[in-house]
Amino acid sequence: MLTSRLDATFAALADPTRRAILARLASGEASVLELAEPFAMSQPAISKHLKVLERAGLISRGRDAQRRPCRIEAQPLAEATGWLEEYRKFWEGRFQRLDDLLNELKPPTRKETKR
Amino acid sequence: MLTSRLDATFAALADPTRRAILARLASGEASVLELAEPFAMSQPAISKHLKVLERAGLISRGRDAQRRPCRIEAQPLAEATGWLEEYRKFWEGRFQRLDDLLNELKPPTRKETKR
């Protein structure tokens, strides 16, 4: 169900290391070893984060038993963005109305003032 | 810091009731009582969710001591969307390449086939 997928996706994204892993994987596949390096984190710590990402469907692992390269999966990210998109309309509308209001409240510029 | 704000935002969004509360508030302010009604949830249970949303900056509460109406706040939603937007380019690129590949593999249509 989409609801529980969104739960898992947002929970997985609520951690800076996991977001950084996804950012790294967006530029290509990587093994746990390659992922662990820039984070100054132990391999087991990274593996734990990868399991959360994998359970949420945000990454998949290759079959190569040695490397098991990680690959980013677009679908859950697309779904999470889809959910947030609903609110984009809402907040962009808000900001537009705010802009309009600020423009109305602004004192007239010199050019507009007649003396 | 943006990083910890994103942590809080994504964690707050990882719950279906909290997402439903935001969906309700997108159409206008509401009191805890008004929010509790459609969810068949106790007021304390809703209040707990509201505290998570408020701590994440996703909602604010009015000063009216009786009602303390809840209002959705756009900024954290905009930031979360901003983070996900980075990946939109990535996955749209992927899907485009996939489309191209499928088009290449497709057998030529009749019009294109010369006999």
C-beta of residue B32 within 8 angstroms of C-beta of residue B77 = no
Q: Establish how many alpha carbons lie within 13 A of residue B94's alpha carbon, considering only the half-sphere containing its beta carbon.
A: 15
How far apart CA B16 and CA A10 sit, in angstroms, is: 11
Handedness of CA A16, B8, B17, A89 (dihedral sign): negative
User: Chain A partners of B95 at a C-beta cutoff of 8 Å?
Assistant: 74
- For residue A15, what pLDDT band results from cuts at 50, 70 and 90? very high
H or E stretch at A72: strand A70-72
Give the strand pairing for A59-61 and B59-61.
unpaired
Backbone φ and ψ for B72, nearest 5 degrees, come out as -75, 145
The answer to whether B76 touches B22, Cβ cutoff 8 Å, is no
Q: From chain B, pick out residues whose CB is under 8 angstroms from the CB of A10.
A: 10-11, 13-14
Contact B12, B56 (CB under 8 A): yes
Q: Answer for the pair A58, A77: CB distance below 8 angstroms, yes or no.
A: yes
CA distance A25 to A44: 18
Q: Which residue of B has its CA nearest to A1?
A: B16
Q: Residue A68, SS3?
A: coil
pTM over 0.95: no
**CA A38 to chain CA centroid, nearest Å:** 20
DSSP assignment letter at A30:
B
Mean per-residue pLDDT of chain A: 84
Low-confidence ranges of chain B (pLDDT < 70): 90-91, 93-102, 105-115
**Residue type for B85, please?**
E
Mean pLDDT of A9-31: 95
Would you state the pLDDT for residue B58?
96
Name which of B26, B85, B90 is nearest A26 (Cβ-Cβ).
B90
pLDDT over 70 at A41, yes or no: yes
Residue with the bigger pLDDT between A104 and B18: it is B18
Distance from CA of B104 to the nearest CA of A (A): 22
Residue A14 phi/psi, 5-degree rounding, is -80, 30
- A27: amino acid identity, one letter: S
pLDDT of amino acid B110: 53
pLDDT on residue A98: 59
Cβ atoms of A56 and B43 within 8 Å: the answer is: no
- So what's the pLDDT on residue B107? 62
Percent of chain A with pLDDT over 90: 50
